[in-house]
Every structure is written in structure tokens, then in C-alpha cells.
Amino acid sequence: MHSRKLFLSVNRPERGSATRSNFARPIVGKTNGNALESGARCDSRSRAPVRGFKTRILRGNLSLALFLLPGILTTGFGQDAQSDRNAERLQQYLKQHPKADLDGDGKLTMDERRAYLRKQVPTKASQEQPRQRQRPTQADVRYGPHERNVLDVYLAKSDSPTPLVIYIHGGGFRGGDKRGVSAGLIERCHQAGISVASLNYRLTDSAPFPAQMNDCARAVQHLRANAKKWNLDQKRFGCTGGSAGAGISLWLAFRDDMADAKSDDPIARQSTRISAAAVSGAQVAYDPRWIKEHIGGRAHEHTALKALFASVDGRYDSPEADRLFKLASPIRFVTKDDPPVWLIYRDPKADLPSDAKPGQGIHHPKFGLALKEKMDPLGIECVVKHVTDFPGGRDNEWPRKIMDEEITAFFVKHLLRDGGTKRK
């Protein structure tokens, strides 16, 4: 009697291919989770076809295949013996896992076991699938004349006015969109009773600094002007964002109030101050001279800075450049009445190498540490975290779920429990 083997079917090459002999191989060791299939294949010695048995195992059900495989192989592919053996093994499994009997009839089928496994152990794909962001309560609300002067509002359900977290996107001042707000952050903020807004602002292809900062300040004023309509507590606003959005958030946190009490524009009379900021990959200064001194390497040569300060046309030693550099650096505005901040970084903590590329290090943790050194003596809370501070954290990777949790917790502490930081 000819020996028989179960084969793994892989992508079959065209006839005449030099690798055709690899199209069918015996199953050995681990599989890659793709479908396993045996059909009419030839034994390597006799070339006799093996027919009558065919099984497909989809991703996520490999454990079921391994569970049943011994019963299949030890019966010589006899269908009756195979069925009896599988039924016996299913009943043994049912004794260990009663909940696998989904219809409660006292018998476990392969489909029930398969469904039970899927429920108990989600596939990797389902675990990594991002949350679907809910629709904004108010979408594309215009707060200024430019096409990018729009914002979305995600209101939390509440009988009383809610705090508000404002998301400002990153992108080197050259790209990004308000839709980048994390669905997980919105969900957690809503669970805590905090509303969320996300906004766009002019990019450097439309206008150089300070247009980006001024746009976001105007958006804060617009949200305050509509606080009553949207059930917001205008005394409890916070900002969040990454990279450029982080820098703008800190700029709003430390800048003096830009409200114009004498303006005929009711929105311009609103405050631009916020009560907390929680950000990622933040630059605390955009002054190339400051970056060169405190960060080192060639971080100060980042091309985004050239576009940000395009109005000085490379004349970095001019009085106007000096004025703009200082105005663009949040750390220069820190005073004892400023709000608490939370920062996280993912770039390696080590000093930049001697052969660093232009712009490398623009998200270095040294930015946050320099800010902490400035705020600690003033008694203002400044939390600086690195991704490696958290379980499983690795350089150059954002732990999105952990960040959403930590950022929300920070805002809960300072916008809910503390009732908002009191500002003059």
C-alpha cells in the first residue's frame, strides 16, 4: 500500500517554471496561518494520487486544525473512523469548556468550537484594527475667512457645561488635518464627560508664522463665543496635539491673553488662555538658535523651520528674524501663572550622533526636559514621559492606547477635579 502525506498548497507557478517542484510540500513544523489545502496530489515515490480528502483552514482556526489533526492522521483518512474520533474529541473539549456549546443542545460542533475560539482569542488583525471615529456633532464649523479655518466639535452628553479638549494636528506646519484626532481619545474624553474639538489652520504654503498660531488662538476664541450654544464650560479648556500641534498647544498655554476687550468683534473679545496641555513630540521653541544650543546636532536645520520663517528669506541675523524667533518659542513666555503640561516623546534619549542628518532630533526628549527645568522652579506641574517608561514601550513607536489613557487622565485631573486652572 502506498504511503500517503498531507501537503501544503502554495502559489503554483506557471508551467515550465524552474520552481514548479516547490508547489507542493509536506506539512512540517509551523504554518504561516494561510489556508491549508490537500487535494489530488502525487506521492513523491509512487506518483499515485491521493484523493477523497480535502480540508481548508482559515486564519484564526489553526488551533482547531491541530486539535483535529491527530484524529485525521491516525485513521488513514477513513471517513467513518475520522468522524467518530472528531466527535469524541469535541465532546472532551466540551467537558472542559461548557460555554463552547453556543446553542445549549449538549453537543459541540466544529462550527461552535470555531466560533468559540474566535470569541476567546481575537485574531491579530482584529486586535490592531483602529477604532472608528464617531461623526462630529458639529462639522466644518468656520471660524475664519481662510478655507482651512474650520473645526469639528464632538460634544459629550451632559446636563451641565462640559470641559473641552482641543486637538491641534501636527505635520511640520506643512500638512496634517483635523481628522487626525484619535478616536480613542474622543471616546475616553466622552466617558469622562469632556467634549472634544479638532481644528485646521493655515499651513506655510499659504502663510508663514505667526499665521498658524494666530489661527488656533482665533479658534479658541470662537469656541468660547459658542460655549453656551454647545454646552461648554469656557473656563475649562485644554489643548492637545503632536509635533507642530504640540508646539502650538504650548504656545497657547504660555502666551499672555490675546483678547481685545475694546474690539467691535465679539469673538476677538474672548480669551485665548487654556487651563492645561497634554502633547506628544513637542518642540518648546522654534528659534533655530535655541534649538542648536539645547538640542544639538543639525536639528535646527529642519526644512519646516525655513518654511515657517519664510518672511525673513533666510536673513536669520536680522532684527525681524530675532523678533519672530522669540515670538515663536513657547518656553520664552513661561511665567508662574501658567497651566500644567504633560509631554511624551518617542525619539531615543541619547545625544544626537556626530553625523546626524539635517532636521534629525526635532522631536528629541531634550525639548521637554528643558521646559521642565524652566517650570519646576516656578512650582508648575510639568510631566515629561518617554515611551519606554511604559510596559512594552519602544523607541520610535507611539503607544496610542496608553497615550489616550494618560492624556485623558491628565485632563480629568486638571479640567474636572481641579475645576480648571485659575488664570489672570
What pLDDT, on a 0 to 100 scale, did the predictor assign at position 232?
A: 98
Question: Would you say residue 116 has pLDDT above 80?
Answer: no
Of 35, 55, 62, 37, nearest in space to 117 by CA? 62
Among all chains, which residue has been given the C-alpha cell 538640542? Answer: 295
Residues 122, 123, 124, 129, CA torsion sign: negative
The single-letter DSSP state of residue 14 is P
φ and ψ at 382, to 5 degrees?
-140, 105
d(CA 87, CA 92): 9
Ordered by start, the domain boundaries in the chain are 1-14+24-56, 67-124, 138-417
Question: Would you say residue 68 has pLDDT above 60?
Answer: no
Question: Would you say residue 118 has pLDDT above 80?
Answer: no
Higher pLDDT, 370 or 112: 370
Residue 79 binned pLDDT confidence (cut-offs 50, 70, 90) = low
Question: Would you say residue 124 has pLDDT above 90?
Answer: no
Of the ranges 1-10, 64-73, 265-274, the best mean pLDDT one: 265-274
What pLDDT, on a 0 to 100 scale, did the predictor assign at position 108?
A: 82
Question: Would you say residue 294 has pLDDT above 80?
Answer: yes
What is the H or E stretch that residue 386 is in? strand 382-386
The predicted-structure confidence for 232-254, as pLDDT tens digits, reads as follows: 999 999 999 999 999 999 999 99
| Residues, the chain | 424
Q: Mean per-residue pLDDT for 30-56?
A: 40
Query: What does pLDDT average to over the chain?
Result: 82
Residues 130, 136, 140, 141, CA torsion sign: negative
The single-letter DSSP state of residue 194 is -
The predicted-structure confidence for 178-211, as pLDDT tens digits, reads as follows: 999 999 999 999 999 999 999 999 999 999 999 9
Cβ-contact 387, 346 below 8 angstroms: yes
The predicted-structure confidence for 326-339, as pLDDT tens digits, reads as follows: 999 999 999 999 99
Cβ-contact 155, 228 below 8 angstroms: no
Q: 10 by DSSP, 3-state: which? A: coil
What pLDDT, on a 0 to 100 scale, did the predictor assign at position 420?
A: 56
φ and ψ at 404, to 5 degrees?
-60, -40
pTM over 0.75, yes/no: no
Residue 383 binned pLDDT confidence (cut-offs 50, 70, 90) = very high
Question: Would you say residue 306 has pLDDT above 90?
Answer: yes
Strands 341-345 and 276-280: parallel
What pLDDT, on a 0 to 100 scale, did the predictor assign at position 121?
A: 45
What pLDDT, on a 0 to 100 scale, did the predictor assign at position 111?
A: 77
Of 3, 109, 9, 113, nearest in space to 54 by CA? 9
What are the residues whose beta carbons fall under 8 Å from the beta carbon of 352, sequence distance 6 or more? 295, 296, 297, 298, 299, 360, 361, 364
Question: Would you say residue 40 has pLDDT above 60?
Answer: no
Strands 162-168 and 232-242: parallel
Cell reading at 109: 460542533
Q: Mean per-residue pLDDT for 53-81?
A: 46
Strands 382-386 and 341-345: parallel
What are the residues whose beta carbons fall under 8 Å from the beta carbon of 214, sequence distance 6 or more? none
What pLDDT, on a 0 to 100 scale, did the predictor assign at position 343?
A: 98
Residue type, 40: A
Of 198, 215, 200, 202, nearest in space to 150 by CA? 200
Strands 162-168 and 150-154: unpaired
Residue 45 binned pLDDT confidence (cut-offs 50, 70, 90) = very low
Cβ-contact 315, 323 below 8 angstroms: no
Question: Would you say residue 419 has pLDDT above 80?
Answer: no
What are the residues whose beta carbons fall under 8 Å from the beta carbon of 412, sequence distance 6 or more? 192, 194
Residue 40's alpha-carbon distances to 49, 70, 310, in angstroms, are: 6, 21, 69
Q: Mean per-residue pLDDT for 52-67?
A: 45
Angle, alpha carbons 399-352-364 (nearest 5°): 35
What pLDDT, on a 0 to 100 scale, did the predictor assign at position 109?
A: 83
Cell reading at 324: 519672530
Q: What is the largest CA-CA distance in the chain?
A: 101
What pLDDT, on a 0 to 100 scale, did the predictor assign at position 99?
A: 67
Range with the poorest average pLDDT among 132-141, 199-208, 298-307, 326-335 = 132-141
* Homologous superfamily of 138-417: Alpha/Beta hydrolase fold, catalytic domain (3.40.50.1820)
What are the residues whose beta carbons fall under 8 Å from the beta carbon of 25, sequence distance 6 or more? 7, 8, 10
Strands (E), 103-251: 138-142, 150-154, 162-168, 195-199, 232-242
Among all chains, which residue has been given the C-alpha cell 478616536? Answer: 183
The single-letter DSSP state of residue 20 is G
What pLDDT, on a 0 to 100 scale, did the predictor assign at position 211?
A: 98
Of the ranges 61-65, 78-82, 174-178, the best mean pLDDT one: 174-178
Cβ-contact 392, 259 below 8 angstroms: no
φ and ψ at 126, to 5 degrees?
-70, -30
Cis peptide bond upstream of 210, omega within 30: yes
d(CA 318, CA 339): 33
What pLDDT, on a 0 to 100 scale, did the predictor assign at position 90?
A: 75
